[in-house]
Amino acid sequence: MVKIYENNNDGNVITIDSLNLWYGENQALIDVSMPVMKNKITALIGPSGCGKSTLIRCMNRMNDLVNGCRIEGSMKFRGDEIYEPGADVISLRKRIGMIFQKPNPFPMTIRDNITYGPKIHGVVENDELDEIVERSLKQAVLWEEVKDRLDKPAFSLSGGQQQRLCIARTLSINPEVILMDEPTSALDPIATAKIEDLAIELQKEYTVVIVTHNMQQAARISDNTGFMYLGKMIEFDETEKIFNKPSDELTERYITGRFG
Amino acid sequence: MKNKTAVNTRKKVDHGIQKYLLTGVAATSVAIIFLIILFIFIESTEAISAIGPWEFISGTEWRPFNGSFGAFPIILGTILTTIGALIFAVPLGITSAIFLSEIASERTRNILKPVCEVFAGIPSIVYGFFGLMVIVPFIFNTFPNLAPAGFSWLAASILLGIMALPTIVSVSDDAMRSVPKSHREASVALGATHWETTRKVVIPAAFSGISAAVMLGMGRAIGETMAVVMVAGNAPNIPEPMWNVFEMIRTITSTLAKEVGEVTGLHLSALFLLALVLMAMLLLTNLTANLIMRNTKRKFETGQGMIEKHLPDNVKNVINMAKRPVMLSMAFVVVMMMASLFTDIIVSTLIAFACILFISTMPFISKRIRSLNRQRIAHLAMSASMIVVCAILFILIADITVKGIPALSWEFLTDVPRDMGRAGGILPAIVGTVQLIIGTALIALPLGILTGIYLAEFAKDNRFTKIVRSSIDILNGTPSIVFGLFGFALFVHYLGIGRTLIGGCIVLAFLILPVIIRTTEETVKAVPQELREASAAMGATKWETTAKVIVPAAMGGVVTGVILSLGRAAGETAPIMFVAAVGIKRHIEFSLFDTIMALPYYLYYLTEVPNSEEVRYGVALVLLMIVLSMFAIASMVRHHYSKKVRW
Ligand SMILES: Nc1ncnc2c1ncn2[C@@H]1O[C@H](COP(=O)(O)OP(=O)(O)OP(=O)(O)O)[C@@H](O)[C@H]1O
Ligand SMILES: [Mg+2]
């Protein structure tokens, strides 16, 4: 068995190099380069439509679902090209999980939501599944709230709880990287704070990439930040630097809210 | 100031009149609907009291001329042919729908989806004709010893299955398409393959819609008349053994079609009672469908359905555990029954065992296959099933076109029939069909459209409206043969005016009335609320808003619906066969009170005239072309309006 996605163990989990992406005729990403560092939180910021979602969806090949989407350039996960012909998309997605903007639990019970992934990947023993349910929900700080109603439908949870359920669902298959596309934009401030705390907590074991429109959020929780504009990565650096001493004028104007 | 008051009063008076007019029209169509339902009830009372309901349902001998009215074989026939049709159509239909919704490219889908709608609109007489000329001989040639004439339960079920396919495919596809993209994305992001996502997320989420599709197809099979009459053989016997699919069989609808035109008294009343049984069966189907749909909806919203809720946990566990064995043993029995028609009992038991063994080892085998390969196999299977469906439909069109074209000529379209229909043309039939459509439109459109507008814009949300809606639903699900029966009893039997054009128009108008009411109501309701508010905000009255804003905005949808339902009326045979149509007329008449020739009935008539094959195919082709052009016009209208009105 050839080991895939195991080639490099330096600090960068994902390395993107001059990535270009087209939706049909429209180019949505232009020469984007950036690293995603291990056990760090990487934030992507930028005005609406600049390509943040597009970029983050490239990282686990969710753009494969979009008709007419074409990609050029290099994106490596642990040293292996993920867009090479014959690349193993299934195990890539297993190792790079994703949380979406709107909580999207399946129309099933809470338990079935969590066991869905493990079952797909071949776990059949009930004991093992129960363990996974408990572990994932605990990691997502949801266990105490739902442990007595695991067989209730996921839709009966509040929006914030649903989003944490989605995080637990992602954690159930032990990914290495967790991609979050504006995970808090549909939530109220209290639920948002919980998710933020959770992201910081997760960073110890996982690598997190988060897209956000909330400057404070990016500044508060991330280690590295990339600022995007019109499909380009304008600046990528440590969060400290981006927010205090940005080297690009555009970045500065965006950060300080004097944009457009 | 003064002027303004005057205008306002005039407005008020005007709107009073208009409102009463609209309410009056709505009341009329509702009255008609009630009348039909009431009529069928009253007409069947004689049979109920003379024969007795239990004796009627359980009696095994149907010999009207000896006075024995045991409808059991006939009711059983309806159930058996329907089951057969479902066994054929459900797996094929759902897998094709999966292909259409989940696998096909947008281009393929854009072609196949309208194709499905067109096939759902082809007249049943054309399907019946196809069954008679292709399926019956096919069965006869394949099983000459088992089905000595080819006319059989099997033929009826295959044909009914084919007819139900487009509905099942199209409605299931809609259901699966409406599963939100976010569910799919969540699944894919967890490393599930496309196929795993389809199987574990999309299909469960679309389950209620898929059940509705099956129920719709089933309703169509139960109520279908002409197609069954032409291929089932119509012997009122219980098959021997009961699962012998090669025996001739008779359904409720075919009994009505065969016997109405020539009866009176108790026999006629017994036929009405049969119609009542038929409607009850359809009602039961619909209620079950509703129950299933509500149950699944509840299941998604609250985690458990209404039924499960009342069951204790251990019963639920037993049910869950018993599911597989029960399904397997059912499969076992069915396979064994079918095999026993061909060989002796030992061999068929062995065959059944082999099948069950195969089915039950499938999960173990499939676990050993890599998920992507599993996906490949599944996608291949789904595509294959879509290809089979397309092939069947293609054969139907090709057979009729290829054999029909030689018959077409200028003379064929402009001459009257000669030599009992073996030669000459079909002009009187074309003229008759056109007369029928025009008459039907004149009656049904004003009534239907105004009632639809009334229901959408003016009806209050009260008990009365509810009753109106459900009676429209009942009438909508009533098989066309029941309209024929109703028309016969009213015009021929009671009024004694015999077969007339006007009678045909009225019956067809009643038939399409519920469809027109519903499409109008739906399209009018679909007009966005903002438009109403915008108009009201400028001081327009409700009536003005409706007339000047809502109706024009809904026009495209209404016109499309009207054209499609007139197309349906043009192809109907069962409603006019006792009320208006005769086989052959040598001259063209324009009297409302005379009989007419009509294309669909002429095709039926010709199937009983030996050596008329060429003309038959010609008529079938002309009918097909009329219906197809109706679809073309309808889609042009839809396209035209969708460009004009946008929201
Ligand atoms: N499926 C698609 N097909 C075609 N074009 C798309 C698609 N998704 C996004 N785009 C286009 O690509 C560009 C980038 O979109 P993207 O969703 O990545 O922006 P974003 O930075 O996430 O914006 P937002 O902050 O509003 O979420 C936009 O111009 C958008 O119109
Ligand atoms: Mg976005």
Per-residue confidence (pLDDT) for residue B297, from 0 to 100: 74
Is the pLDDT confidence value at A256 over 90? no
Tell me the pLDDT tens digit for each residue of B137-152.
999 999 988 888 899 9
Q: Which ranges of B122-198 does DSSP label H, i.e. alpha helix?
A: 124-130, 136-142, 153-177, 181-189, 194-197
Q: What mean pLDDT is predicted for residues A93-103?
A: 93
Cα end-to-end span (Å), chain B: 38
User: Facing residues of A179 across strands?
Assistant: A98, A209
Q: Which fold has domain A9-255?
A: Rossmann fold (3.40.50)
pTM: 0.89
User: CA-CA-CA-CA torsion for B440, B441, B442, B445, nearest 10 degrees?
Assistant: 120
Using the Cβ of A86 and the Cβ atoms of chain B, whether some distance falls under 8 Å is answered with no
Q: What is the mean pLDDT of chain B?
A: 88
Taking a contact as any Cβ pair under 8 Å apart, which residues of chain A between 187 and 216 contact chain B?
none
Give the separation between CA B414 and CA B430, rounded to whole angstroms. Answer: 9
Count CB-CB contacts under 10 A for residue B346: 8
A231 CA to middle of ligand 2, Å?
12
**What single string gives the DSSP state of each residue in B399-453?**
HHHHHHGGG--HHHHHSPEEGGGTEE--HHHHHHHHHHHHHHHHHHHHHHHHHHH
Buried b (16+ CB within 10 A) or exposed e, B108-138: ebeebbebbebbbbbbbbbbbbbbbbbbbee
Residues within a 6 A CB radius of ligand 1: A 23, 26, 28, 46, 48-54, 66
| Torsion sign, CA atoms B383, B386, B388, B394 | negative
Using the Cβ of A155 and the Cβ atoms of chain B, whether some distance falls under 8 Å is answered with yes
Nearest residue CA, atom 25 of ligand 1?
A48
A41: nearest Cα among A168, A206, A233? A206
Using the Cβ of A142 and the Cβ atoms of chain B, whether some distance falls under 8 Å is answered with no
**pLDDT tier at B548 (50, 70, 90 boundaries)?**
confident
Name residue A167's amino acid: I
Report residue B377: phi and psi, to 5°. -60, -45
What ipTM was predicted for this assembly?
Answer: 0.92
Listed in order, strand segments (DSSP E) in chain A are: 12-23, 26-37, 41-45, 69-77, 80-81, 96-99, 177-181, 207-211, 224-229, 232-238
Report residue A43: phi and psi, to 5°. -105, 145
> Angle CA(A66)–CA(A67)–CA(A72) in degrees, nearest 5?
80
| Residues making up chain A, counted from first to last | 260
**pLDDT tier at A3 (50, 70, 90 boundaries)?**
low
| Residue pointed to by tokens 């753009």 | A63
Best of B106, B190, B202, B298 to mutate (most A CBs within 10 Å, chain A):
B190
Tell me the pLDDT tens digit for each residue of A126-167.
999 999 999 999 999 899 999 999 988 898 899 999 999 999
Give the H/E segment covering residue B69: strand B68-69
Is the pLDDT confidence value at A83 over 70? yes
**pLDDT tier at A2 (50, 70, 90 boundaries)?**
very low
**pLDDT tier at B13 (50, 70, 90 boundaries)?**
low
Residue extents of the structural domains in chain A: 9-255
CB proximity list for B434: less than 8 A, separation 6 or greater = none
Q: What mean pLDDT is predicted for residues B421-449?
A: 93
Strand, coil or helix: A211: strand
User: Which domains can be identified in chain B, with CATH numbers?
Assistant: 2-28+408-644 (1.10.3720.10), 57-308+371-405 (1.10.3720.10), 311-360 (no CATH)
B503: nearest Cα among B517, B514, B487, B518? B487
Is the pLDDT confidence value at A230 over 80? yes
Q: In 3-state terms, chain B is what percent helix, strand and coil (to 5)?
A: 80, 0, 20
Q: What mean pLDDT is predicted for residues B623-637?
A: 90
For a ligand 1 pocket test, name from A19, A27, A32, A54 the mutation site with the most ligand atoms within 8 angstroms of its C-beta. Answer: A54
Per-residue confidence (pLDDT) for residue B2, from 0 to 100: 46
Q: In 3-state terms, chain A is what percent helix, strand and coil (to 5)?
A: 35, 25, 35
User: Facing residues of A20 across strands?
Assistant: A72
- B186 contacts A153? CB cut-off 8 A: no
CB proximity list for B569: less than 8 A, separation 6 or greater = B436, B437, B440, B508, B511, B512
Name residue B556's amino acid: G
Is the pLDDT confidence value at B599 over 60? yes
A103 CA to middle of ligand 2, Å?
14
Using the Cβ of A97 and the Cβ atoms of chain B, whether some distance falls under 8 Å is answered with yes
> Angle CA(B37)–CA(B42)–CA(B43) in degrees, nearest 5?
100
